Amino acid sequence: MRFVLVGLPGVGKSTVGPLLANATRGRVAKEDTPTFNYIEDALVDPAQYAALSQVEFMLDKARTELASNCETLWQEDDTRYTHHVWTRALARDGRIDSRAASLLNDLAFVLDATCPQPAGIVALELSLAEIEQRIAARGRTYEVSAGKLDKGFRRLLAALDHEHRRYVTSASGVDPPLWRIDASQTPEAIAREVIACTRAPADRPSA
């Protein structure tokens, strides 16, 4: 059974995921950015690398989804979210052109038809101002310049926030279920709320 944790950079997916995996005796599929070859290049030179980085991310997500079995798996951002939010935000911000966006749409169509749906989607949500503060504090070189959030990355975050809201609206009320969680809580409180939301009805204690 696979659940997907979605949300903008800095909302806490990498912190909450291991707590959820421990509580459910499952495992977490982390979005470990050092394993990706083009992420930093894509932010520095998007015209050359942004689309290539997206292909790498989407294929990595698809491998996780196709390999998942009956165990409880908590995945950070699946193929669908990576495309619907990140590809559209990159296009909105002018980091990929229409030809690259069209090619990514075709790839997403094939992967969507191939990969199984998750059991549920957990959207971790935080205000854009709080996200910017968290990202500035963690100090990754491709996000922060001279101790401040890079202007270009701030613009990309705004585009991501817009597309995230569109995604959540379109995914709400349909299968698989989507739960919106306030990510301003402590990681432990978030994990407890997520467990309560995602627990199967038959597993919930009676009133």
112 close to 58: Cβ distance less than 8 angstroms = no
pLDDT in tens, 49-88: 899 999 999 999 999 999 877 689 999 999 999 999 999 9
Name the residue among 104, 98, 52 with its Cα closest to residue 83.
104
CATH number, domain containing residue 153: 3.40.50.300
The domain in which residue 19 lies consists of 2-202
Q: Tokens representing 159?
A: 């585009």
pLDDT tens for residues 120-162? 999 999 999 999 888 888 877 666 665 677 788 889 999 999 9
**Residue 158 one-letter amino acid:** A
Specify whether the CB–CB gap between 65 and 78 falls below 8 A.
yes
What are the angstrom distances between the C-alpha of 198 and each of 23, 42, 83, 101? 12, 35, 24, 33
Does a structural domain hold residue 101?
yes
Give 201's pLDDT tier (boundaries 50, 70, 90). very low
How many structural domains comprise the chain? 1
Helix (H) or strand (E) holding 41: helix 39-44
In a domain, 134, yes or no: yes
User: Beta partners for 124?
Assistant: 181
pLDDT confidence of residue 206? 39
Residue 207 lies in a domain: no
What mean pLDDT value characterizes the chain? 88
- Does residue 172 register a pLDDT over 50? yes
Would you say residue 50 lies in a domain? yes
In the predicted structure, residue 205 carries a pLDDT above the cut 60: no
Q: Is the pLDDT of residue 14 over 50?
A: yes
Output the pTM of the full model. Answer: 0.87
> Residue 116 gets which letter from DSSP?
P
